[in-house]
Structure 1
Amino acid sequence: MKSAILIDGYVDEPAVLGVPPYISTYARYIAGTLLLKGFDVSYITIDQIRQKNKWKDFNDYNVLVILSSVTVPGKYIGGTPITVDEIKKIFTLNKKPFRILTGAIVEFAENVEADDMTVDFLEYAFEKVDYQIIRVVSIKGASIVKQHPRYPDVICEVEVSTGCERKTYCTFCSEPILHPFFSSRPVKDIVDEVETLYKEGIKAFRLGRSANILAYGFDKNSSNVNVILINELYNGIRSVAPDLEVLHTDNANPGFIAKYYPESAKAIEMIVRYNTPGDILSFGVESFDEVVRKKNNIQGSVKDIDFAVKLVNEIGGKRIDGVPKLLPGLNFVFGLYGETKRSYEILYKKLREYLEKDMLVRRINLRQIYVVPNTPLWFLSQRKKIKVNKKLFNHYKYLIRNNIDNKMLRKVFPKGTVIRGVIPEYREGNITFARPLGTYPILVGVIGEITKKSDVYVVDYGLRSLTAVEVKKRVGEYSISDLIKIPGIGKSKAKELKEKFSEKLLVEMLEGDVV
C-alpha cells in the first residue's frame, strides 16, 4: 500500500487553533484526502520530531506533507510551531517522497524551498469552499486523532463557516485573503463530523474556523441572525455526543451583536443553553480608540463593545462549580494605522472601567501587529510606516497585566471554584502547571505533583494563573512545603493538619474552615 506522512507544524489563524492540545481541521482534512486516495497515513507533530530527533526518518514514505499555518503568532504552552528552517531541514533530509507544503505559510513566507529540491506548494487560498468535499474528507480523516500524542485528551476544532459576513473588511485581517467568501457549513455535516470524532474517542470540541459564530447561517437567513439554525447546530451536537466534556466556541463580533440585537441575544442564549462552562466569545476589539477603529475599518463603536460585553455577562454569567458558562474575551492589536499614545491611554482607562463595573472579561489578549501580505494594511505599509511603539506597548502591557488581569481573574474564578479536568503540562518545583481542555484554557498551578487529568479547587492566584489543590487528594498526601503554599497555612498549622487530619480530603478542611 502507498504510504504518506503528515507532519503537523501547527495552525494558528484568526479563526482556527491547531497547536496542541488542539488538532486543526486542516490536519484531519489532509489525512482524509490521503486516505481516500488509498494511502496508509501516519501523523506526527513537529514537537515529536524535535524530541525524538526524527528529522531524516521519512524517506520510506511515498508522500510527505508538512502543514504550517501560523498567521497570528502568540506564546504557546502545548507546542511550538514549525519554523522555515525546520521545513527546509526536513525536505532536504528526506528527498525520496513526493513533498508537499501546505498552509498559510505558502501564501505568506518567502524562500521556503531548500536547495536542489522539487517541492509542491499546495494552493491554500480558496475562492469558494466546496462543503461536499469537506464533508467527505472530514469524516474520513477523523481517525487520525488517535495518532495525536495527547490522545484522547485532544480538543478538535470543527469548521462552522469560512470567510467573514462583512462586505468590507478590517485592514489587517488575513481571513478575506485566505477565504474571500462567507459561507456557512451545513448543520448535518458538522453534526456528523462531531459524531464520527466522538466515536473515535474525542470528547472535547471547539466550534472554530469561524470569524463570527453568531453569524452562522447568516447567509441562509436573508443576512440576519439565524437563531433557529444555531439552536439546531448545538442541539444536534449534544444529541450525538451526549457525555462530551467540552463544547466551546471562539470568535464573535461585538459590533455585530449590537447591530443585530435582540436576535443576537437569543443566539447567545442558545449557546449558553448547550455549551460547557468556561466558554469564551473572543471579541476582535483591536482598539478602543475610535479614530484607529475608523481608519482600520473595524466594525462598530466603543459603545457597541460596551453593550456586547455587558450583554454576554448578563446571559453567560451563570456559574457551574463557580465557573461562568460564557464570558467575553478581548483581543487587541497594537501598531495599527493611526495609533498614538492616546490610544493606549484610552485602552487602559476602558479596561479599568470594566473591572470597576464588574463587567467580567475572561481573557485580554495583547498582540503586536503582524502585517499580512496583500491586506489593505500591507499595501498602506508600502507608503507609510506601520510599526509598534515598543516602549508604549511594554509599559501598558505591564500595567494591564499587573493592575487589570490579576484582579479580573479573582472575579472570574473566586476562591473555592472547581476547575474540572485539568491536564498536567509541566512542573516547576512542587507546582504542577496544568490546563483544562477548552477555548483559551486557564493555566492552573496545582500544588504538588499530578500525573493525570484531575479536578482542582482554587485557593490562590498568580499574575495570570490560578493556584489550586486537587479535589480528591488527602491531607496526608501533601508535604509540609506543599501545604504552606496555601494562604492561611503556616508551618505549625501544616504540621497540625498532617497529624490530626491526615486521612481527610484537604478540600473538606478548606471548605469547613478548619484552616
Structure 2
Amino acid sequence: MKSAVLIDGYVDEPAVLGVPPYISTYARYIAGTLLLKGFEVTYTTIDQIREKDNWQIFNDYDVMVILSSVTVPGKYIGGTPITIDEIEKLFELNKKPFRILTGAIVKFLKSTKADDVAEDFLKYAFENVSYEIIRKVSIEGAQIVKQHPRYPDVICEIEVSLGCERKTYCTFCSEPILHPIFSSRPVKDIVDEVEALYKCGVRAFRLGRSANILAYGFDKNSSKINISLINELYNGIRDVAPELEVLHTDNANPGFIAKYYPESARAIEIIVNYNTPGDIFSFGIESFDENVRKKNNIQGSVDDIDFAIRLVNEVGGKRVEGVPKLLPGLNFIFGLYGETKKSYEILYKKLKEYLNDNVLIRRINLRQLYLVPNTPMWYLSKRKHLKVNKKLFNHYKYLIRREIDAPMLRKVFPKGTIIRNVISEFREGNITFARPLGTYPILIGVIGIFEGKSDVYVVDHGRRSITAIEMERKVGDYSINELTKIPGIGKSTAQMLKEKFFNQPLWKVLEGQVD
C-alpha cells in the first residue's frame, strides 16, 4: 500500500483554527483525500517533530504533505505554528517522497527551497468542486483524529460556509482572497461529518469555519437570515452527537445582526438553545472610530455594534453553573488606514462604557495589522505608510488589560462558578494551568497538581486568567501553603479548616455546604 505522512504545521485564518487542541478542517480533508486515493496515512504535528527532533524520518513515505495556513497569527498555548525555516528543513532532509506544501502559506511565500515542489493541495483538491467531494473526504478523513497527540481531548473545527456574504469586503481580510465565493454547506453533509467524528470518539465541536454563522443559508434564502436552516443544523448535530461536551461557534457580524433584526435575534435564540456554556460570538469590530471604519469598509456603525453586543448579552447571558451560554468577544486591529490617537481614546472610552453598564464581554483581542498579500490593504500599503504607533498601542493595551479585562473577568466568571472538564496544559510550581475545550477557552490556574481532566470551582481572578480549585479534592489534600492562595484564607484559617473539615470537599466548605 502507498504511504503518506501529513505534517500539521497548523492553521489560523479568520474563519478556521487548527492549533492544538483544535484540529482543522483542512487536515481532515487532506487525510480523507489521501485515504480515498488508497494511501495509508500517518498524521503528525510539527510540535511532535520538534519534541523528538526527528526531522529526517519521512524518506520512507511515498508522499509528504505539509499543512501551513496562518494568516492571523496570535499567541498559542497548545502549539506553535511551523516556520518557513522549518518547512525548508523538512523539504531539504526528506527528498525521496513526493513533497506537497499546502495551505495559505503557498499564496504568501516569496521564495523557499521548497518552491520547486510546492503545490497548493487544497486548490488542486477543492477549488471549484462541489460540496459532494468535500462531503466524501470530510467523512473519510474523520478517522485521522485518533492520531492527534491530544486525542480524545481535541476540538474539531466544522466547515459551515466558505467566503463572506457581503458584496464588498473589509480592506484587510484574507477570507475573500482565500474563498472568493460565498456558499453554505448542506446541512446533511455537516451533520454526517459530525456523526463520523463522534463515532471516532470526538466530543467537542466548533462551527468555526464560517465568516458569519448567522449568515448560514443566507445564499439559499433570497439573502435573508435562514432561521429554519440554522435550527435544522443545530438540531441535527444534537441528534447525532447526544453526549457531546462542547458545541460552540466563532464568527458573527455585529453589523449583520443589526441590519437583519429581529430575525437575527431569533437565530441567536436557536444557537443559545442548542449550544453548550462558554460559547462566544467573535465580533470583528476592528475599530470604534467611525472614520476608520468607513475608510476600511467595515460593515455597520458604532450604534449597530452597540445594539448587537447588548442583544447577545440579553439573549445569551443566562448562566449554567455560573458560566454564560453565549457572550460577544471583540477583535480589534491597530494600524488600519486613517487611525489616529483619537481612535485609541474612542476605543478605551467605549470599553469602559460597557464595563460600567454591566455589558459583558468574554474577551478582548488586540491585534496589530497583518498585511495579507493581494488584499486592498496590501496594495494600499505600497502607496501609504501604514504603521502601528507602538507607543500608543502598548499604552492602551496596558490600560485595557488592567482596567477593563480584569474587572470584566470577575463579572463573567464570578467566584463560585463551576467549569467542567478542564484539561491540564502546563505547570508552574504547585499551580496547574488548565483550559476547557471550547472557543477561546479561559486559562485557569488550578491550585495544586493534576493531570488529565477535572471540574473546578472559581476562587479568584487575574487580569486574563482565573484561579480555581478542583471540586473532587478534599481540604486534607491541600497543604497550608496551597490553602492560603485562596483569598480570605490565612495560615490560622487554613489550619482550622484542615482540623475541622479534613475529609470534606474544599469547594463545599467555601460554599458553606457542610454539616
SS at match of 1:304: helix
One-letter code aligned to 2:121: L
Q: TM-score, normalization: structure 2? A: 0.98
How has the CA–CA distance of structure 1 residues 293 and 425 changed in structure 2, closer, same or farther, with 3 Å as cutoff?
same
* Residues 89-168 of structure 1: pairs in structure 2 closer than 5 A: 89-114=89-114, 118-122=117-121, 124=123, 128=128, 130-168=130-168
Deviation at 1:119, TM superposition (A): 4.0
Hey, what's the Cα distance between the residues in 2 that align with 1:396 and 1:410? Answer: 21
Hey, what's the Cα distance between the residues in 1 that align with 2:57 and 2:322? Answer: 48
Q: Which residue of 2 aligns with 1:368?
A: 368
Would you say the 8 A contact 2:106–2:119 is kept in 1? Answer: no
Hey, what's the Cα distance between the residues in 1 that align with 2:109 and 2:422? Answer: 36
SS at match of 1:332: strand
**Are 1:382 and 2:375 matched, yes or no?**
no
* Residues 337-416 of structure 1: pairs in structure 2 closer than 5 A: 337-416=337-416
Q: Which residue of 2 aligns with 1:189?
A: 189
Q: Which residue of 2 aligns with 1:28?
A: 28
Q: Which residue of 2 aligns with 1:274?
A: 274
Deviation at 1:499, TM superposition (A): 1.9
Q: Which residue of 2 aligns with 1:213?
A: 213
Q: Which residue of 2 aligns with 1:439?
A: 439
Q: Which residue of 1 aligns with 2:289?
A: 289
Would you say the 8 A contact 2:435–2:443 is kept in 1? Answer: yes
Hey, what's the Cα distance between the residues in 2 that align with 1:256 and 1:358? Answer: 23
Hey, what's the Cα distance between the residues in 2 that align with 1:128 and 1:462? Answer: 48
Hey, what's the Cα distance between the residues in 2 that align with 1:194 and 1:123? Answer: 21
Deviates more, 1:294-303 or 1:101-110: 101-110
Q: TM-score, normalization: structure 1? A: 0.98
Q: Deviations for 1:47-95, whole angstroms, at most 9, x for unmatched residues?
A: 0000011101100000000000000000000000000000000110000
Q: Which residue of 2 aligns with 1:473?
A: 473
Q: Which residue of 1 aligns with 2:82?
A: 82
Hey, what's the Cα distance between the residues in 1 that align with 2:170 and 2:466? Answer: 35
* Residues 6-17 of structure 1: pairs in structure 2 closer than 5 A: 6-17=6-17
One-letter code aligned to 1:29: Y
* Residues 449-464 of structure 1: pairs in structure 2 closer than 5 A: 449-464=449-464
Hey, what's the Cα distance between the residues in 2 that align with 1:345 and 1:225? Answer: 35
Hey, what's the Cα distance between the residues in 1 that align with 2:112 and 2:249? Answer: 33
Hey, what's the Cα distance between the residues in 2 that align with 1:383 and 1:406? Answer: 40
Q: Which residue of 1 aligns with 2:321?
A: 321
How has the CA–CA distance of structure 1 residues 124 and 349 changed in structure 2, closer, same or farther, with 3 Å as cutoff?
farther
SS at match of 1:299: coil
Hey, what's the Cα distance between the residues in 1 that align with 2:402 and 2:484? Answer: 24
Q: Which residue of 1 aligns with 2:238?
A: 238
One-letter code aligned to 1:137: V
Hey, what's the Cα distance between the residues in 2 that align with 1:425 and 1:278? Answer: 19
Hey, what's the Cα distance between the residues in 2 that align with 1:129 and 1:368? Answer: 35
Q: Deviations for 1:186-238, whole angstroms, at most 9, x for unmatched residues?
A: 00000000000000000000001100000000000000000000000000000
Deviation at 1:123, TM superposition (A): 5.8
RMSD of Structure 2 on Structure 1 (CA): 1.2
Q: Which residue of 1 aligns with 2:59?
A: 59
Hey, what's the Cα distance between the residues in 2 that align with 1:196 and 1:235? Answer: 16
**Are 1:222 and 2:208 matched, yes or no?**
no
Hey, what's the Cα distance between the residues in 1 that align with 2:444 and 2:229? Answer: 36
SS at match of 1:90: helix
Hey, what's the Cα distance between the residues in 1 that align with 2:450 and 2:473? Answer: 10
SS at match of 1:273: helix
Hey, what's the Cα distance between the residues in 2 that align with 1:108 and 1:91? Answer: 18
Q: Deviations for 1:143-198, whole angstroms, at most 9, x for unmatched residues?
A: 00000000000000000000000000000000000000000000000000000000
Deviation at 1:493, TM superposition (A): 1.2
**Are 1:45 and 2:55 matched, yes or no?**
no
Deviation at 1:495, TM superposition (A): 1.4
Deviation at 1:500, TM superposition (A): 2.0
Hey, what's the Cα distance between the residues in 2 that align with 1:183 and 1:390? Answer: 39
Q: Which residue of 2 aligns with 1:331?
A: 331
Hey, what's the Cα distance between the residues in 1 that align with 2:53 and 2:12? Answer: 24
Would you say the 8 A contact 2:169–2:176 is kept in 1? Answer: yes
Deviates more, 1:340-349 or 1:470-479: 470-479
One-letter code aligned to 1:306: D
Would you say the 8 A contact 1:106–1:123 is kept in 2? Answer: no
Would you say the 8 A contact 1:322–1:413 is kept in 2? Answer: yes
Q: Which residue of 2 aligns with 1:418?
A: 418
Hey, what's the Cα distance between the residues in 1 that align with 2:428 and 2:513? Answer: 29
Hey, what's the Cα distance between the residues in 1 that align with 2:38 and 2:112? Answer: 29
How has the CA–CA distance of structure 1 residues 129 and 314 changed in structure 2, closer, same or farther, with 3 Å as cutoff?
farther
Would you say the 8 A contact 2:471–2:506 is kept in 1? Answer: yes
Deviation at 1:513, TM superposition (A): 7.9
Deviation at 1:130, TM superposition (A): 2.2
How has the CA–CA distance of structure 1 residues 251 and 511 changed in structure 2, closer, same or farther, with 3 Å as cutoff?
same
Would you say the 8 A contact 2:100–2:117 is kept in 1? Answer: no
Deviation at 1:270, TM superposition (A): 0.4
SS at match of 1:410: helix
Q: Deviations for 1:20-42, whole angstroms, at most 9, x for unmatched residues?
A: 00000000000000000000000
Hey, what's the Cα distance between the residues in 2 that align with 1:452 and 1:209? Answer: 28
Would you say the 8 A contact 1:32–1:138 is kept in 2? Answer: yes
Q: Which residue of 2 aligns with 1:200?
A: 200
Number of matched pairs = 513
Deviation at 1:128, TM superposition (A): 4.1
Q: Deviations for 1:345-390, whole angstroms, at most 9, x for unmatched residues?
A: 0000000000000110001000000011110011111100111111
Deviation at 1:494, TM superposition (A): 1.1
One-letter code aligned to 1:511: E
Hey, what's the Cα distance between the residues in 1 that align with 2:245 and 2:207? Answer: 14
Q: Deviations for 1:433-465, whole angstroms, at most 9, x for unmatched residues?
A: 000000000000000001120100000011100
Deviation at 1:253, TM superposition (A): 0.2
Deviation at 1:265, TM superposition (A): 0.3
Would you say the 8 A contact 1:434–1:446 is kept in 2? Answer: yes
Hey, what's the Cα distance between the residues in 1 that align with 2:327 and 2:459? Answer: 22
SS at match of 1:74: coil
Deviation at 1:127, TM superposition (A): 5.8
Hey, what's the Cα distance between the residues in 2 that align with 1:123 and 1:476? Answer: 55
Hey, what's the Cα distance between the residues in 2 that align with 1:347 and 1:242? Answer: 42
Hey, what's the Cα distance between the residues in 2 that align with 1:392 and 1:142? Answer: 46
Hey, what's the Cα distance between the residues in 2 that align with 1:56 and 1:255? Answer: 49
Would you say the 8 A contact 1:106–1:122 is kept in 2? Answer: no
